[in-house]
Amino acid sequence: MSRLFALLAVLFCLSAAAGATENLLAPKLDIGKGGQCVEDPQWMRKNHMHVLIRQRDETVRKGIRDGKYSLKNCIECHASLRDNSVIGRADSFCQGCHRYEAVRIDCFECHSGKRKSVLVQGK
Amino acid sequence: MSDINVQRRQFLKTSMGLAAVAIAPGMLLFEAAHGKSDAVSSKVRWGMLIDIANCTDGCNDCVAACNKENGLSGGTSPTDSQWMRKVELKNMSSGRTLSLPMMCQHCEHPPCVDVCPTGASFKRADGIVLVDRHRCIGCRYCMMACPYKARSFVHEPLHDQNPDVPRGKGTVESCTMCVPRIDRGQQPACVEACPNKAILFGNLNDPDSEIAKKIRTVASVQVRADLGLNTAVRYQGL
């Protein structure tokens, strides 16, 4: 019985240690203004790509531009307050996490990664 | 017997009334929720009528406005994007000269859409011919198919595009009639920029619109009408 307890204790320690390492390795993101998102953050982490693909087709093909989800609005809130961008640095909101997950994003080969209000002022 | 009939009539009346009361708010809510997010419809066909008599020789304001709106460099080399060009024409026998803007003619039967192997080139329900760059593979068949030489290919990587007008290397692009502006209820940039109001923009399908009235009353032509493409851009005085 005591052997079983010891085993459980060791397992518990290991899992706790694993949890701690995970937190250490997780990307540190510059979330910009942040604040209230269109959905719960955990849901967004899992589903933002599906939402964006659906929104992109509806906007380009059908001209529906007033939906709840919009890449432009993502950038408006989440661009860094330092360089007004979601890409370009290791802790940038989009790039930081995608680098950690090793998923290439090609959104920003056509779309601007900068906050619209800044681009408009800069012109 | 008559008693039964009266009851039946009463029952039908009340149930119809109840049904109407139950359905009406739902319909209203649906309208409110979907009023603005409706997809564009084929009841509208956007078009332009360009009055060449009012188009000044040497004036380039529409092209400059197009370049600014869409973030184009304004260069005219073969590898630069040009969505709109000013064309100077001269009739060699009479010596008459004309100056007119030339861009995507937004055909009803667009050859670029016919040849596109991926479905990237498409015509929106309201008649605007566009490239869906998410699907464009940069093969440039559409550029070869277009009789108006309206499309350009992006050769170099781009940065800091207008957030409303995403553009990128390896895809084909052309005049979009400023589709984000149209969806906001504004006029295309070239129409607003013309100092002589030579470009009239509107809905060709609405018989009461200014453009439809003018097309009914003045002589206008489509460029290369012989191809039967039924362009949305028409010229007056060509």
Residue B187 near residue B193 (C-beta atoms within 8 A): no
Chain B residues whose CB is inside 8 A of the A119 CB are 160, 162-163
pLDDT tens for residues B96-154? 999 999 999 999 999 999 999 999 999 999 999 999 999 999 999 999 999 999 999 99
The CA-atom distances, in angstroms, between A76 and each of A70, A84, A117, B218 are: 10, 9, 8, 47
Percent residues over pLDDT 90 in chain A: 34
Q: Do A109 and B169 touch (CB under 8 A)?
A: yes
CA-angle at A83, arms to B133 and A96, nearest 5°: 65
pLDDT tens for residues B48-107? 999 999 999 999 999 999 999 999 999 999 999 999 999 999 999 999 999 999 999 999
Q: Do A75 and B163 touch (CB under 8 A)?
A: yes
Structure tokens at A122: 């800069």
H helices, E strands: number in chain A: 5, 0
Which residue from B50, B49, B47, B51 is spatially nearest to B206, judged by alpha carbons? Answer: B47
Question: Is the Cα dihedral A85, A90, A93, A96 positive or negative?
Answer: positive
Mean pLDDT value across residues B199-204: 97
Chain B residues whose CB is inside 8 A of the A67 CB are 37
Residue A77 near residue A49 (C-beta atoms within 8 A): no
B75 phi/psi in degrees, rounded to 5 = -70, 155
B37, B163, B169 ranked by CB distance to A116: nearest = B163
Suggest the residue from B135, B154, B164 to mutate for an interface test with chain A (most A CBs closer than 10 A): B164
For residue B18, what pLDDT is reported?
Answer: 65
Residue owning tokens 């013309």: B194
CA distance A93 to A89: 9
Residue owning tokens 């996490």: A97
Q: Beta partners for B48?
A: B201, B233
- Any A CB within 8 A of B126 CB: yes
Mean pLDDT value across residues A73-79: 90
Measured between CA atoms, how close is A63 to chain B, in angstroms?
A: 6
Measured between CA atoms, how close is B91 to chain A, in angstroms?
A: 41
Suggest the residue from A49, A60, A77, A84 to mutate for an interface test with chain B (most B CBs closer than 10 A): A60
List, in order, residues 6 or more apart from B34 with CB less than 8 Å away.
Answer: none
Q: Where are the domains of chain A?
A: 27-122
Chain A residues whose CB is inside 8 A of the B164 CB are 72
- Any B CB within 8 A of A119 CB: yes
A65, A110, A116 ranked by CB distance to B167: nearest = A110
